[in-house]
Structure 1
Amino acid sequence: MKPIKLNLQAFGPYLNETIDFSSFYEHHIFLIAGKTGAGKTTLFDAMSYALFGKTNGLNREPKEMRSTFAKPSEETKVAFTFSAQNKVYQIERIPEQVLAKKRGDGVREVKAKATITIFDEFGKEINHFTKTTEVNQIVEEVVQLEDEQFRQIIMLPQGDFRRFLNANSNEKEKILRKLFGTEPYRLFSEKLKEQKKLISVAIKDQEKELITTLQHARWVIELPEILELGQARGKKELSYLKEQQENMHNQLLKNEKRIQLLKEEENKRQLELQKVQAEMLLFNEKEQLYSQQTIHKSATERIMTLKEKLNKLKEAELIQPLLVRQLELKNEMAELATEVHSLEDQKKLAEKEQNYWETLYQEKLAESPEQERREMKLIELKQQKIVLDGYSRVRQEDERLAEKINLLDREKVACANQLQEKQKQEMATLQKLDQLREVEQQLNQLDKEQTRVQTIDQKLIEFSQIEEKIQQLKNQEITVRDSLLLAEEKVAETEKNYLKAKSDWAKIQIRRLALDLEDGAPCPVCGSVEHPYLHSQVEDMDEFETMSQAENQLDFWENELTTVKETVASFKTRIEGLHEQLADSESQLEKRMENDPLATRLEKSSLDQLKKEVKVQLEKLETQIMELKQQHSKETELLEEQNKLKSFIEKKSAELNIIEQDYQNVWQEQLEKKGELTQIKQQLPLELLDETIFKGRLSQLELEVAAFKQELSERELKKVAAQDQLKEIISNQVHLKKQSAKAEKLELELTEKLNDAISQSSFENQKSIEATLTELEEVVDWEKEVQQYEKEEYRITQRIAELENQLLSVEKPNVEIAESRLKEVAIERETMQEEQTRNQQIHMQNKKVLKEATEIIHSIQEQWDLLDEVTNLSAVANGDGDQSKMGFERYVLTYFLEEVLTIANGRLQQLSNNRYLFDLNREEGSRKTDTGLEINIYDDNAGGLRNVRTLSGGESFIAALALSLSLSEVVQQHAGGIQIETMFIDEGFGSLDEDALEEAMDALLQIEGSGRLVGIISHVKELKERIPDKLLVESNGTGKSKIKISHG
């Protein structure tokens, strides 16, 4: 990706500035210079915002980048054009902002917008997108980098990479993690540590759960005293419970057999009782049946009568449908006759209604010619209304212009009067100023003398302040050195505690392994078959936490020691700088005082004595200046008054010219409007110029036209509705007459069939049939009563015969003796059954406890095995093991760092004339903080390795430059993005000597040869001379900045 053009409108300090990056393509290197705060960083904010919708400075939202001096109507936006993959992309983004309304007063909120236009290599537009989501997707597909990665690749802050060189492995790890995205590896290692703690807590919780579970057991024996604790106590208590369960199981089997024998005896006696009870029931039933038979014979006569009535009703039911149909036809014929008469009356009314509406419709239709005349008149009035509207609008404009001319006349007179008065005042003020020139010359001479003495006094104050600051820094240095000694003591003490805790943790591991040993089986560690500490208890896991705390304290004090050392070095540097500043100030003061009377006193007098003399001379000068200023104050007042008068006269003259011009323009415009009014009056009749009369005529005519159309339509609809109603009535009459004739024919046929059915039956006539049918509702009850009688008679007779046959040779039994024998054996069985149930419940509850406790013990063993695995894996992943101090994430980062150093060595050799090479230190340090990512420098002059911290300032810059350029390339490769053919290098060249600067420039010229566009942000004079292309950011001190590009 290569930038082509960047345009900023009301963005940051830029009102409307454009940077043409293509003008730097020839040399590929350009210098970016400008004062601090002028807006250099804003250029990177703009590029980042155009691409990703975010600024380079994460603390500022895009909407906050709007220029404070932008006009309310000026829109804030950024346009960025760049090339990539043989195409040109032009992005324009507008942040969320508040602008003035385009019409009227007030403001409007503008939402964030984005567009992108794509061109081919010949400049032809290929595509255009206007949705923000589409723009973001295109940028993501083309750049294939996130905004943070883009900033890391395009911007190389040299100070950060020099700190990276001198940082320990822990600090390097934090920086590289962010660049190469290895956070998941760190989280994985941290997760292992957390999992190890969780497993340890889980083991303790399960041991507590085991004891709690065994407390739910129900004992039927007296439990012996158990001295063991934890898991061992649980195992012993579990063995006692198993023994009780086995004994109880055997007793339950014996009791179950005895209960089974009692159940068999109980069943046998139950059968005997059931037989006796059955025989007694048969004797009782026979006696009841004899009584029922006597009662039943008394109802025989009524049953015979009911049978005769039922036969008569069945015959009448056969004729009943003919009677019912005859009645329905008579009713139907009567209803049809009534409807025919009603329709005749409706027909007469419908004919009358039809004639009425036909007459009204024809009368209204005869008025059509008058309606056509009204419609033509309405069209004419509407055309005239258009002309009248124009007349009203022009007349109002003419009145407004007349008022404006009167106002301008009054303003012109008032302005001319004010101008004449102020010109007189200006002449009087100029005469007074000439009289005060001589006083001003005396005051200027005294001011120069006072400035000279004040400069000397200021320098003397600076000497005192620098001496005080040096003394303060020396005191602080003593305090920091004391902190350094304390930190070193704390590191030694913490390291000792850590080693002790680690030793104690190893003892715990050995004791835990002893739990899995068996007598006679070889030890998996030493192979011995004798285990004197077989039953030792594993101590609490708090010792492991003590070791972790000691390790964390060790890391803390190591970091504290590094910080204190850096602070001491910083104080030394500041003290040296203040000594140089003091010497420089003394030199400058001596130069200023070469021709001063006080110069001879500087060497002879003390600093305090000299300050007193300077103070006396200052007080004397201030007295003289005060006297002259009292005289000069009048001149100042006159000058201010003269300037105000001059400004007022110029302003009023300009206002008068503007008013005169406005007057001429308005007067000319009024003449044009009067001409328009004359033309419109000629087009309209005089009476129609009154708008009220015109609107009244137009409204009345519109109402008349609409009323005629509505009334004609209503009469036509009424006429058609009357015609339809008459047709419907006539059709209904024809249909009803046909139905009536059909019904009469059916009634005659039915009467003949009814007479034939009566003659063939046992009935005399139709009335006798109807009388019989009145009892039809009783048929169901009568039939049911007859059937019930016959059924009951058969049942009683048949059952009596059966019982007499069964009881022929049986004596009447005694039920009470059989019930007593059954109750005796049932009581014995129930007593034993209750005892058996209680014992089974105890056995089942203990069985559940036994199962849960066994599962918990098995789970605890699994957790111990898992803890072993997780502990070993965590030690490897976090670098806590005996094998290596380098964790999983750091191991991955060494791969990336080695790749970076391989590329960086090529540049470093060239920058250092083949003297230096980077070397990744693969030896383990004494602690994790200095293991894995330590960088050494191979010095060819010394023939060996050096620590990077021994490099001088210039050497450090060269090494950091090589490292930063290479790191940018590797990050870019691993990010999978496009080739970023542009980079910006921040300040850092000022620390180089002349030779190192020359070598750095040679390295940058090599970058020039590779085609990459490089922007250097620096104030070094030699760079300004060597680099012809410059991008200068110039600020005017009011918050505004401008871009200036030069090529010479």
Structure 2
Amino acid sequence: MRLHRLTVRAFGPFAGTHHIDFDRLASQGLFLLHGPTGAGKTAVLDAVCFALYAEVPGVRQGHRHALRSDHAAPDTPTEVVLDLTVGGRRLEITRRPEQTRPRKRGTGTTRDRAAVTLRERDAATGNWSALSRSHQETAQELGQLLGMSRDQFCQVVLLPQGDFARFLRAGAEDRARLLGRLFDTRRFAAAERHLTELRAGVQQRVREGDDILLSLLHRIRQAATGLAGRGEPPSDAPAPGTPHLAEAVLVQSAIARSAAREGRDIAALALSAAEAAHDLAEHRLAEAREQHRRRQRHQEALRRRTALAQQREHTDRDRDRLDRARAADTVAPALALRDAAEAELRAAAEAERRARLSLSGPSDEPAERLAERERSVRRHLGALASARRAEDRSRHLSAELHRLQDEDRADRDLLTEAARRRACHQEEHDRLQARVEQARQEAHRADRLAEELARARERETAARNRDDIAGRLRAAEADLLRARELAAAAYDHWLGLKERRLQGFAAELAAGLGAGRPCPVCGSSEHPAPARPDAGHIDRAAEERARAGHQQAQTDRDRAAAALAALREQQAGWVAASGEDALEDLTARVTALQDAHASALAQGEDLGRAREELRLAEREHAGLLTAEREAERRIAARASRIETLGAELDALREETEQARDGAPSVAHRVAVLEEEAEALAEAARAALASEEAAVRLKEADARLADAAYRAGFGTPRAAQEALLDPSEQRVLQQRLDAWRAEEAAVAAALSDHTPGAEGDAVADPDSARAAAVAATGRLRKAAAADAAAHSRCAELDALSGQAAREAVRLAPLRDECRRVTALADLAAGTSSANAYRMRLETYVLAARLEQVAAAAGARLQRMSAGRYLLTHSDARSGRGRSGLGLHVLDGWTGRERDTATLSGGETFFVSLALALGLADVVAEEAGGRRLDTLFIDEGFGSLDEQTLDEVLDVLDSLREQDRSVGIVSHVPDLRTRIPAQLEIVKSRRGSTVRHRTLLPGG
């Protein structure tokens, strides 16, 4: 990359337009930028960085309002134009930051958005062609050509000597942060985190597998409870993570299964004996119950026979009543038909009465006379049909005439209003045009404010999260401390219970002893003095609960530690995103930007409405002209139509006046006659229906009398009184059926048993029942013991199978855990195989630092006349990282010196050599792009005359590589040593630039 020409206008301290010719300055290799403090030497470098990246370096980035010169005239725009060659292409970049300028019309100011123009020069023709005006496209194009970020460019092209002096004296962590910004090592840090996560995950899976095995072992021991003396598995449990935990679990499960099968065989023999005794007792009980049942049944039959004899009279009455009800059921249809005919006659008579009330003439006329009157009225209605049509036509014509007259008045009013509105059109048009222009300017301002507001909100959100997470960090630290204390207390509690259990283990063994059973310790079947548990005895369940509590406390402690680490990582990210500004300041800035943006947006939103209103006003003006012409045409066409309708309407009104015959209208007279005809028709129908209902009632009376006689009743009333509901008949029939069934059952019971039969006196059901109950109890105990033995065997088989499958599943997982843990520890620098305890990211940064030290060493030897050489060290520095050490080898003493022991002048030229070396390495890292123009900022005042000559010789040697170096300094001695100079002159009206070239010897 080579700079050719820079033009600044109203930028920083420069009020006017100033041109800087880098080709002229770089013609001798070295050139000097000098001037008094605050004149604007650094502003030249800021302008170069702003042209390339739209940002300035250092602490000034983010303060775009500081780019504009306070000395510039209000109508002079701030602008930077940079002409450079990069990647073999000659480009020109023109940038303008967002800025405020006076309005072109009226008073006040408006805000212009940031703008950029990228052009390229054709080497063959010398003409410039535009490439892009887009910020994004320009940034992508320059990013691909430069191959460096803004931080890298500021570090290797604009060499800040103060940063490298601090780099020399910094610790390993600070050096790592600087190198991490220049060389992107995030993928290696991500690899470390990924390996750590893999290790934690696989270790967690192994722990979960061990917990499952231990849980299965605990369940196996619970299932084997009560098998003491027949191979019960030992009570000591292996700890989680034990290498041979799976083998121990499988051995103990095999012992438990063997003891369970022995118990199952014993229980089967006991069950067989209990079943035989139970069958015999049940058979004797059944015989005794049968003899006792026959005696009681004969006595009960005698009592029931006496009761049946007492109920016979009442049963005969029910049988006679049921027979009469069934005979009356044949008369019921005729009764229902007669009641329906009577109800129908009453309804018809009532309907006839109501229909005759609405008649205007005599109310006792027969149905034939009423029908004749109806036909007469309807003939009169047919004669009025023509008059009714004439009346409807008259009404329609009258409405149309009124409509035409209203339209005529409306058109005339329209002509008057259109003339008035056309007179006011020009004034409204000018007002809307000014409103559109104002809204357009506010819309542009709202877009600029939206970008600033988005960035401010991001920083505010990051700051809020940064402050919020501080409290959560304190809470997480307190939780971790509490979890550690609880874990320690749970561990002490478990060890105490375990020790107390061991002290009383003799009593626990004695609890399983029984008469005749051998002791599991001495083998004796006699137990004269078994140990007794004391008041504070601890059993296995209490110890297991304590151990489980200890494991849970350890899990809680690990979870709290992981949560604290995650919060600390989040805090670092939020601090990096928010900076050091207070949340209140950021919130105040967001509020101010929100208010400004809302105001501009509200005014800018009026643009669409203003444009629409302007367009509507113009359309309305054209429409008014068209409406006037149309209204005049309609008025002329409507006059003849109004005259024709008036004449026809007069003729129709004369015709309908005769047909009304005093009624309000022909339609009203027709409605009255139609209502009279409907009333006559309804009365005729009702009279005819009443006569027919009377005939049907006489016929129903005759059929009812005949049905009652055939059923055996003297009168219809007697048949009606004998009727019973079906439910009552069912009750009577059920009582009769029950009496007959009881009579048959008593006869059968009396014939089944004869008093005094053999064996009646010796049956004793109570004693047989007691013997059967005792046999059943023994059988149940034996069956429960047998079922429990089979269930125990099945449960132990299933648990053993699960344990075997879990052991097979865990085997490859344990191997994977060992491999992943070894690799993660190696990358994290905690493995014994990592001799330098160096992390993976640090290893990569150390390799880059070693390249930088090698490149800087050659220049340092020349600057120091062969005395000093910069070397890289992998040794650890205290408790810091290893691999990021820098030492200076003193050729005069043959010893290495720490960079912190260098003097001020030594620190300068060592840091200068380091900066030049770093520039070479970063350029190579960026794709090998050549950097033909470098700038060095200050630091030469700390050198003596001889060292200054050597440093200038090294810088001048860069000219042999067709590279130029600009020195930014106010050291007076440099003005006589460097011929090509750019002087920055400071004044009250702003700074100016002056090119100077010293003559040889002057």
TM-score interval for Structure 1 and Structure 2 normalised by the shorter chain: 0.3 to 0.5
So what's the TM-score if we normalise by structure 1? 0.45
Instruction: Give 1 or 2: higher helix fraction.
Output: 1
